């Protein structure tokens, strides 16, 4: 018989008696749960749960899971409320870093001069595992590094003596008026970086006047993100396609009922990439697995692998008509990387593409977003695509207003940022998210004046040149895709 307090709640001493793999109770947000029968099903392995057997696991649980996920447990797993506050956290474990003096006062947000500055503050405020997950790329991380490095090979041709007293960078993307043609792209596990997770991003997006793309693998629920938005605030839904089409349809149609105004289907992730920096941190976390579990759980897979077991690797072009039949939301394909696939997307009748290499986290040696954008735009122009109706977005390594200018001039309708938004949130909460976009606005305003482009419409491909991209087109002719082999960009670059 469980020992109860006078008010009927379980005593924490009673929970502490159930502290083994065979009899594993944990406390989550003031409620006790018997997770003994769930250990083998936990995507992150049994070890991390057993580590908290008989104890309060709320602080480890909340950054990674929506709080209402416990409702999916069998009813008999719930043992009831627990009396008293959670005990103080124990001292750091031996495998954690020693204090390195990072407890100095956090600088005022006004001292953040550029987007990179936020990383210094954010790294001090999150766990090693969270930082490794955020900053990891696939394999040797070349694609991760190249996403931004590629911008250094793209140069600008400014116009002079243009009246640029008034600068207007506002835009309309998928029918929504925004202060700058940018959006927060989908990123997983927001509570690793802030206690409110994606809800904090919702508030930050509203303050910045940009759209939030809400992720399938969020720490917050769809309902929580929806409830947090301001009246009229736009949100899009990013979809990892579940192996169960019934589940997928339920998610898509719920998003539409709630008012999400765009469906972004991730198409570049039939398997999530090997992110070794993340994997090493996860290996430490699960190193205490019992022998019984060691043969069942791959301890080297990391957070990314642990959360991706439901993604359907059989997703293909033949599924696109089905998606078009179950929703009236605009459908964008997220992760298109070639001219061929840009053309096929257009021919399939979707509403647009999102040119992206998944932040360099999927296929190492995939080209940068800015390089892929040139090929995709060239291919679409070559078939006479109606780019007023077919939308092209891009992400990947955008950290400067100059990066943003280059993509917009090359034809992108909007630019997404993921890591910068999370870093801003980790450092300063929703104010940090707003300030990240304010820095982009300040830098873009300067570039629009210096380039002689008072509006977004004044930005043209011939203002952006790169010999490297022209060389790529010379080596890989696009005749089999288009009747117009060379883009304005390539022609301009050929004159260098």
CA-CA distance, 185 to 394, in Å (whole number)?
Answer: 10
What's residue 138's pLDDT? 82
DSSP classification of residue 1: -
In-domain check, residue 160: yes
H/E stretch holding 212 reads strand 211-214
**CATH number, domain containing residue 34:** 3.10.120.10
Say yes or no to pLDDT of 395 above 60: yes
pLDDT (average), residues 311-315? 90
CA-CA distance, 211 to 183, in Å (whole number)?
Answer: 5
The catalytic residue among 240, 346, 428, 486 is 240
The catalytic residue among 196, 268, 341, 364 is 268
pLDDT tier for residue 398 given thresholds of 50, 70 and 90? very high
What's residue 48's pLDDT? 72
For the record, the structure tokens of 227 come out as 């409830």
Q: What's the structural domain count of the chain?
A: 2
Q: Is 423 helix (H, G, I), strand (E, B) or coil?
A: helix
What's residue 489's pLDDT? 41
Q: Looking at the structure, do residues 460 and 329 belong to the same domain, yes or no?
A: yes
Q: Looking at the structure, do residues 227 and 337 belong to the same domain, yes or no?
A: yes
240 is catalytic: yes
pTM, 2 dp:
0.77
CA-CA distance, 187 to 118, in Å (whole number)?
Answer: 17
Q: Is 345 exposed, middle or buried (0-12, 13-18, 19+ CB in 10 A)?
A: buried
Q: Looking at the structure, do residues 266 and 404 belong to the same domain, yes or no?
A: yes
In-domain check, residue 118: no
Q: Looking at the structure, do residues 39 and 177 belong to the same domain, yes or no?
A: no
Q: Looking at the structure, do residues 22 and 142 belong to the same domain, yes or no?
A: no
List, as own/partner pairs, every contact residues 223-226 make where C-beta atoms lie below 8 angstroms and the sequence separation is at least 24, other chains included: 223/258, 224/66, 224/198, 224/199, 225/198, 225/199, 226/258, 226/259, 226/260
CA-CA distance, 135 to 126, in Å (whole number)?
Answer: 12
In-domain check, residue 5: no
CA-to-CA separations, 63 to 24, 175, 185, in angstroms, rounded = 21, 33, 19
Q: Looking at the structure, do residues 75 and 136 belong to the same domain, yes or no?
A: no
Q: Looking at the structure, do residues 175 and 76 belong to the same domain, yes or no?
A: no
DSSP string covering 80-135:
EEB-SPPPPPPPPPTTSPPP-STTSPPPPGGG--STTHHHHHHHHHS-HHHHHHHH
pLDDT (average), residues 142-152? 92
Q: Looking at the structure, do residues 246 and 139 belong to the same domain, yes or no?
A: yes
In-domain check, residue 40: yes
Q: Looking at the structure, do residues 136 and 62 belong to the same domain, yes or no?
A: no
pLDDT tier for residue 291 given thresholds of 50, 70 and 90? very low
CA-to-CA separations, 188 to 118, 156, 310, in angstroms, rounded = 19, 34, 15
Say yes or no to pLDDT of 491 above 80: no
Placement of tokens 């990314």 in the chain: 304
Chain segment 219-240, per-residue pLDDT in tens: 899 999 999 999 999 999 999 9
What's residue 479's pLDDT? 43
Percent of the chain with pLDDT over 70: 79
Of the ranges 66-80, 116-130, 286-300, the best mean pLDDT one: 116-130
Contact 212, 236 (CB under 8 A): yes
Instruction: Report the relative pairing of strands 171-173 and 211-214 from DSSP bridges.
Output: unpaired
In-domain check, residue 33: yes
pLDDT (average), residues 84-97? 54
The catalytic residue among 176, 358, 391, 447 is 358
Contact 322, 264 (CB under 8 A): no
Q: Is 414 helix (H, G, I), strand (E, B) or coil?
A: strand
Percent of the chain with pLDDT over 90: 60
Q: Looking at the structure, do residues 137 and 213 belong to the same domain, yes or no?
A: yes
pLDDT tier for residue 213 given thresholds of 50, 70 and 90? very high
pLDDT tier for residue 283 given thresholds of 50, 70 and 90? very low
Say yes or no to pLDDT of 351 above 50: yes
Q: Looking at the structure, do residues 168 and 52 belong to the same domain, yes or no?
A: no
Chain segment 7-38, per-residue pLDDT in tens: 678 888 899 999 998 899 999 988 999 998 88
Residue whose C-alpha is closest to residue 243's, from 178, 332, 319, 314: 314
pLDDT (average), residues 210-218? 95
For the record, the structure tokens of 399 come out as 């950290």
In-domain check, residue 109: no
CA-CA distance, 358 to 267, in Å (whole number)?
Answer: 10
For the record, the structure tokens of 249 come out as 């349809």
Range of the domain at 268: 130-272+308-493
Chain segment 430-487, per-residue pLDDT in tens: 999 999 999 999 999 999 999 999 999 999 999 998 665 545 444 444 443 433 333 4
Contact 341, 265 (CB under 8 A): no
Say yes or no to pLDDT of 299 above 70: no
268 is catalytic: yes
Q: Looking at the structure, do residues 334 and 240 belong to the same domain, yes or no?
A: yes
In-domain check, residue 381: yes
Residues in the chain: 496
20 versus 66: the higher-pLDDT residue is 20
In-domain check, residue 3: no
Say yes or no to pLDDT of 87 above 80: no
**CATH number, domain containing residue 147:** 3.20.20.70
Residue whose C-alpha is closest to residue 341's, from 252, 276, 267, 400: 267
């Amino acid at each position: 018989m469980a020992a109860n307090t006078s008010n009927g709640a379980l005593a924490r001493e009673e929970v502490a008696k159930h502290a083994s793999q065979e009899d594993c109770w944990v406390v989550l947000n003031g409620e006790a749960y018997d997770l003994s029968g769930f250990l083998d099903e936990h995507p992150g392995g049994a070890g991390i749960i057993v580590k908290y057997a008989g104890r309060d696991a709320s602080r480890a649980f909340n950054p990674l899971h929506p709080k209402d996920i416990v409702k999916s447990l069998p009813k008999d797993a719930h043992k009831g409320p627990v009396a008293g506050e959670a005990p103080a956290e124990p001292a750091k474990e031996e495998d954690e870093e020693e204090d390195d003096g990072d407890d100095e006062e956090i600088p005022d947000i006004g001292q953040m001069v550029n987007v990179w500055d936020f990383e210094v503050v954010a790294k001090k405020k999150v766990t090693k595992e969270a930082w490794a997950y955020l900053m990891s790329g696939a394999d040797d991380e070349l694609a991760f590094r190249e996403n931004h490095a590629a911008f250094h090979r793209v140069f600008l041709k400014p116009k002079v003596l243009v009246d640029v007293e008034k600068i207007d960078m506002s835009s309309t993307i998928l029918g929504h008026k925004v202060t700058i043609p940018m959006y927060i792209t989908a990123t997983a596990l927001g509570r690793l970086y802030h206690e409110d997770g994606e809800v904090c991003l919702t508030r930050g997006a509203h303050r910045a006047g940009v759209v939030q793309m809400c992720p399938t693998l969020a720490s917050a629920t769809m309902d929580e993100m929806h409830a947090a938005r301001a009246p009229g605030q736009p949100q899009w839904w990013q979809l990892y396609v579940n192996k169960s089409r019934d589940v997928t349809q339920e998610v898509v149609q719920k998003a539409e009922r709630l008012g999400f105004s765009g469906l972004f289907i991730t198409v570049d992730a039939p398997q999530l990439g090997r992110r070794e920096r993340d994997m090493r941190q996860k290996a430490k976390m699960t190193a205490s697995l019992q022998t019984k579990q060691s043969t069942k759980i791959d301890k080297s897979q990391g957070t990314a692998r642990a959360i991706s077991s439901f993604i359907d690797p059989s997703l293909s072009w033949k599924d696109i008509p089905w998606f078009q039949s179950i929703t009236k939301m605009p459908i964008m394909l997220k992760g298109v990387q070639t001219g061929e696939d840009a053309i096929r997307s257009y021919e399939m009748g979707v509403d647009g593409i999102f040119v992206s290499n998944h932040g360099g986290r999927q296929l190492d040696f995939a080209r940068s977003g800015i390089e892929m954008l040139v090929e995709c735009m060239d291919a679409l122009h070559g078939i006479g695509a109606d780019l007023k109706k077919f939308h092209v977005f891009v992400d990947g390594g955008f950290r400067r207003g100059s990066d943003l200018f280059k993509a917009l001039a090359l034809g992108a309708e909007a630019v997404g940022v993921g890591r910068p938004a999370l870093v801003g949130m980790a450092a300063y909460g929703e104010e940090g998210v707003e300030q990240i976009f304010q820095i982009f606005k300040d830098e873009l305003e300067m570039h629009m004046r210096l380039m002689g482009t008072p509006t977004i419409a004044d930005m043209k491909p011939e203002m952006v040149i790169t010999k490297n991209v022209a060389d790529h087109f010379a080596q890989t002719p696009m005749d089999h895709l288009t009747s117009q082999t060379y883009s304005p960009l390539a022609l301009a670059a050929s004159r260098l």
